[in-house]
Structure 1
Amino acid sequence: MRQSSAVRKLISCRNISRTVLQLRHLATLEFKRGNDPQFTDYSEICNTFTKVPLTFCLVPFTETFTVHDALESFGFGKFQWKMSFLTGLSWLGDAMEMMILSILGPQLLCEWRLSSYQVALLTSVVFAGMGIGAPVVGSLSDIYGRKAALMISSCWSLFYGLLSAFAPVYGWLLVLRGLVGFGLGGAPQSVTLHSEFLPEKSGGICIPLVAVFWALGSVFAALLAWVAVPALGWRWLLALSTAPMAVFVCFGFWLPESARFNLLAGKTEKAMATLAHIAKENGKPVPRGKLIAHKRKGGGRIKALFSPQYRRTTLLLWFIWFANAFAYYGIILLTTELLQAGHLCERTDNEQSCSLDCKYLTSADYKNLLWTSLAEFPGILVTILAIDRIGRKKSLALCFFMFCLSILPVYVCIGRTAVTICLFTARAFITAGFQVAIVYTPEVFPTENRALAMGTCSAMSKVGALITPFVAQVLLRTSVFGTLSLYCGFSLLGVIASLLLPIETLGRGMQESREAGEETTNTTGTSNAATQECTP
């Protein structure tokens, strides 16, 4: 058999073992086709020696590229700005639905003569629905696509959100708000879809910027309640709060399906069409060559989250999301409770709460609620400043710790203004922590299970959100000390869980499959020598 000059040069070494050793260290080089024909074909090397690094054997005879390569070449442009706006509308609608929970309670407490437990249940049923809906929509998103799952869940939320404004009695309102919650469980898939179109270096900044829409939703809900509830009542508040979701549903047809998902699902032509569309929008050329991808293995299966590679990460993230939501929604509910009741710490354990001593929210209460809602914006700023400087893990730990520190002064029965400042600061840091978790989760899991991971993490957050009304709206009426201690305790556990996360995703590109993630993990912190070998 006639050997190429490339093979003859390698065999001319003193012995075969030294040649093989040299080949092992060539894995970090990038071999490209050149004008010299003697360096264009290395296929004979893999047939000559028994063990050669895989990256050496897979030298392409034609140019190839991945979705990651394409997105990096396109950069952040017009397409990504449109994606940010549309997915942001989904977040805005979700935020408004969440914010009105803290406003609806005091209104119904008086108008329908509800007990504090019934008010807490009305809040918790929404989170229960979200806890069920999030993993269901997440699994469907990994099987049938991000866009389809997101649009169906958004239409669901819009429909039942409008119906809940016409609920005649408490029981009907409870059922309808639970169904709204089920649809809102799909909202995190907007982050999954958005993140899969971002260049590597843009994720740490662009995803928190989408959170600006969440902050706007909180502020709009407070303003809308301030204007609508005294004049029109809570039913108009529920109806008008669905407006952002209606806009998203109308314009959501523009959203393309994720190219990463299509490629992993074997829909290469659709993936290429999406990449061509992005290139046209951003004014950049499509990379030359063939689009390649990892083979899909069991997307949308929860057992993949408990593989040896991801088990620890999954469990820690579940707790982090739980603690984040427990603290975040707790602060939102505490704001109306503390500001409405004044010096709650002066209450005795024997003082009971009933419908006869209810208080409607005053103009001053709405004003203070608006001020604490504005804390979302500095929280986003904290995320942007910290996440790409100290990393995702340390940023999470810092946010949990500062949240705990911010609510400590409330223990000593400080005045109304001081309470507002403390709640503002605490909400800013827990908002930042939530955004860091939203950035980290899609980065650490592969495309084949990314949506399911986001869905299950979101479901765990709703468990925390489901529990927190009984702490912030029920336990608070008998023990301020116990209430604040629970929030401090869970935030400190969040610090520990954040630092125990096994993977730091700063500077780590998105993984398409578990195998790709294993390769990245194996090469992190070691030499660049290849760890896989090919055999004839």
Structure 2
Amino acid sequence: MEGDNSHVYTVDEALTAVGFGKFQYYILAYAGLGWISEAMEVMILSFVGPAVKLKWGLSSSEESLITTVVFAGMLVGAYSWGLISDNYGRRRGLLSVAIVSTGAGFLSSFSPNYISLIILRCLVGIGLGGGPVYSSWFLEFVPTPNRGTWMVVFSAFWSFGTVLEASLAWIILPRLGWRWLLALSSLPSFMALIFYICTPESPRYLCMRGEISDASKILEKIANTNKRSLPFGKLTSTEDDTHSLCLVQNKPVVSKAGLLSIINLLSSNLVRITLPLWLVFFGNAFSYYGIILLTSNLSTGQISCLNSMGESNLYKDVFFTSLAEFPGLVLAAILVDRIGRKLTMVLLFITACCFLLPLVIHERQLVTTSLLFVARMCTASAITVANIYAPEIYPTSIRSTGFGVASAVGRIGGMVCPLVAVELVSNCHQTAAIFLFEAVMVVSIVGMVLLPHDTSGRALTDD
């Protein structure tokens, strides 16, 4: 291989050659730990709000604010961590996310009053906004063949986190209280902080920055760990016929900061991607988090409306509906590489609409929980596919930023949905709440249809 520039290979060709092996399993484990952390901190909202409301005598609006500030923080974090990741490296993004999530999550368990709890949970939300960094980082180590399937496997960590949190709440909350639940729920982010030292930088990101030597070393390490060989030749950053080598060390390609990055996303080439994707993420987040909050509120909030449900059903119903995410993942894994990302999302959301619609009238507890089970299965599965599509559709130079901004728009949906799930259902306006969910989901389906080409089987682009 001595200085022969006539034979070159791209990062995608290198990853395909070394395959998905032991090295990627390490990457999957770390990224999955971050995903578990985010899932647990989101799921805890179903339990902490009602517990703190009872303990401190809060109003429904004050209870809703505990959830809303977390999503407000996620809105800021999703955008900020994307910029950091694209401009300063995936590893720095991962470190920043772990520090903020761990510190704020643990300290919130010591909150002496409502105001301090609100501030600290908002900081937790900022940390949780780094979810797209974990996803983009993992994606950039996965070979193109069956990439969709591996991203679904990655999403299984989220589902595991939701079930783990529901189980913890069932065990801890009645015995030790909400403070212990908050403290124990911060452990996964603390573990992500400890194991950060083992994380490598993305070779795709390094090559995009012109750091060809460092990118090659990581690819060689992947090959050695997987006991495979890299292609013959030298690494290139492009896939065109000129095979221009990644020799732009003095001209690193970085995404623009601040508002310029959003303007970049809305450029003529990307606007057809960005705007529909924002509709998809807004509707996905509004529906998914709304169904989680609906589950807890229909278990406790209907006491005053129907006198037919008790608070003892809360843990059981949330735990049961959390299990829905696992068959949803299986469904996504079956469909995502067979019929494509777009069609999979559309079919899943239409199914979710059909199962949520009967709740416009009050149903028996078993029927309500069963309908929410299927609706959550489909919305969680649709979010999984959207989280695969978004980083695939954007080039490496703005991948984390584009995915992060889309995720941030989704957080707006998460901020708005508590006002529906808590306020409307608590005030016995369940029918109005369900109709609003249906309307938002229809808008999201429109966004799915308007998305450009499907990304199934396509190589990731760098510019």
Q: What CA distance in whole angstroms lies between the structure 2 residues aligned with 1:167 and 1:437? A: 35
Match of 2:184 among 232, 236, 240: 240
Deviation at 1:223, TM superposition (A): 0.8
CA distance change for structure 1 residues 461 and 402 in 2, over 3 Å: closer, same or farther? same
Distance 1:457 1:469 in 2: 20
Q: 1:152 aligns with which of 82, 86, 96?
A: 96
Q: 1:21-47: per-residue Cα shift (whole Å, max 9, x none)? A: xxxxxxxxxxxxxxxxxxxxxxxxxxx
Separation of aligned partners in 2, 1:167 and 1:341: 26
The CA distance in 2 between the partners of 1:379 and 1:315, in whole Å, is 26
Contact 1:372 1:427 in 2 (8 A): yes
The structural deviation recorded for 1:360 is 8.7
Cα distance in 1, alignment partners of residues 325 and 456 from structure 2: 23
Cα contact 2:424–2:430 (8 A) shared by 1: yes
Distance 1:463 1:235 in 2: 27
Is 1:68 the counterpart of 2:12? The answer is yes
Distance of aligned partners of 1:346 and 1:227 in 2 relative to their CA distance in 1, 3 Å threshold:
closer
TM-score, scaled to structure 2:
0.93
> 2: CA distance between counterparts of 1:448 and 1:458?
17
* Match of residue 119 from structure 1: 63
Name the SS for the 1:314 alignment partner.
helix
How far has the Cα of 1:202 moved from its partner? 2.7
Match of 1:523 in 2: none
Q: Tell me the alpha carbon deviations over residues 358-408 of structure 1, each in whole angstroms, 9 at most, x when there is no partner.
A: x9942x321121100101101111111111111111111111111111111
- Paired residue for 2:295? 335
- Partner Cα separation in structure 2 for residue 485 and residue 477 of structure 1: 16
Alignment of 1:77-476 (within 5 A): 77-294=21-238, 297-300=253-256, 301-342=261-302, 346=306, 361-362=311-312, 364-476=313-425
Q: Which 10-residue stretch deviates more, 336-345 or 143-152? A: 336-345
SS of aligned partner of 1:199: coil
C-alpha distance in structure 1 between counterparts of 2:179 and 2:70, whole Å: 17
> CA–CA distance in 1 between the matches of 2:224 and 2:198?
15
d(CA) in 2 for partners of 1:340 and 1:303? Answer: 44
Q: Is the contact between residue 154 and residue 187 of structure 1 (CA under 8 Å) also seen in structure 2?
A: no
Deviation at 1:477, TM superposition (A): 2.6
CA shift in 2, pair 1:345/1:383, >3 Å: farther
Which whole-Å CA distance do the structure 1 matches of 2:172 and 2:272 have between them? 47
Q: Gaps spanning 5+ residues in structure 2: where?
A: 239-247
What residue identity is the alignment partner of 1:508?
R
**Mean CA deviation greater in 247-256 or 421-430:** 247-256
| Superposition RMSD in Å | 1.6
Rounded to whole Å, the distance in 2 between the matches of 1:413 and 1:302 is 43
* In structure 2, distance between residues paired with 1:263 and 1:509: 15
- The aligned amino acid for 1:319 is L
Q: How does 1:484-503 map to 2 (within 5 A)?
A: 484-503=434-453
Map of 1:12 onto structure 2? none
The letter for the 2-side match of 1:491 is M
Shift in alpha-carbon separation, 1:489–1:247, aligned structure 2, 3 A: same
SS at match of 2:110: coil
Could you tell me how far apart the structure 2 residues matched to 1:271 and 1:245 are?
27
Separation in 2, partners of 1:265, 1:119: 46
Q: What is the alpha-carbon distance in structure 1 between the residues aligned to residue 52 and residue 206 of structure 2?
A: 47
State the alpha-carbon separation in 1 of the partners of residues 304 and 322 from structure 2.
21
Kept after mapping to 1: 8 A contact 2:87/2:254: no
Unpaired runs of at least 5, structure 1:
1-59, 348-358, 514-536
1:254 positional shift = 1.3
**For residues 268 and 339 of structure 1, do their structure 2 counterparts lie closer, same or farther at Cα, with a shift above 3 Å needed?**
same
C-alpha change, 1:337 and 1:288, in structure 2 (3 Å) is same
Q: Identify if the C-alpha distance between structure 1 residues 205 and 437 changes in structure 2 by more than 3 Å, giving closer, same or farther.
A: same
The number of residues matched between the two structures is 442
Contact 2:70 2:121 in 1 (8 A): yes
SS in 1 for 2:44: helix
What is the alpha-carbon distance in structure 1 between the residues aligned to residue 196 and residue 293 of structure 2? 32
Q: Which moved more, 1:489-498 or 1:454-463?
A: 489-498
Partners of 1:506 and 1:118 lie apart in 2 by 44
For residue 456 of structure 2, the aligned residue among 506, 513, 522 is 506
SS in 2 for 1:165: helix
**Separation of aligned partners in 2, 1:466 and 1:192:** 24
Counterpart of 2:344 in structure 1: which amino acid?
S
Residue 57 of structure 2: SS of its match in structure 1? coil
**2:101–2:124: 8 Å Cα contact kept in structure 1?**
yes
Which deviations, in whole Å up to 9, do the C-alpha atoms of 1:182-214 show, x marking residues without a partner? 111112210000000001013210111111111
1:343 CA drift (Å): 6.8
Distance 1:343 1:233, change over 3 A: closer
Contact 1:150 1:187 in 2 (8 A): no
Q: CA deviation at 1:286?
A: 2.2
1:517 corresponds to: none
Shift of residue 345 of structure 1?
Answer: 6.2
Distance in 1 of aligned mates of 2:5 and 2:407: 44
- Cα distance in 1 for residues equivalent to 2:77 and 2:110: 23
Which has the larger displacement, 499-508 or 118-127?
A: 499-508
How far apart, CA to CA, are the structure 2 residues paired with 1:148 and 1:106?
36
Residues 134 and 411 of structure 1: CA distance in aligned 2, closer, same or farther (over 3 Å): same
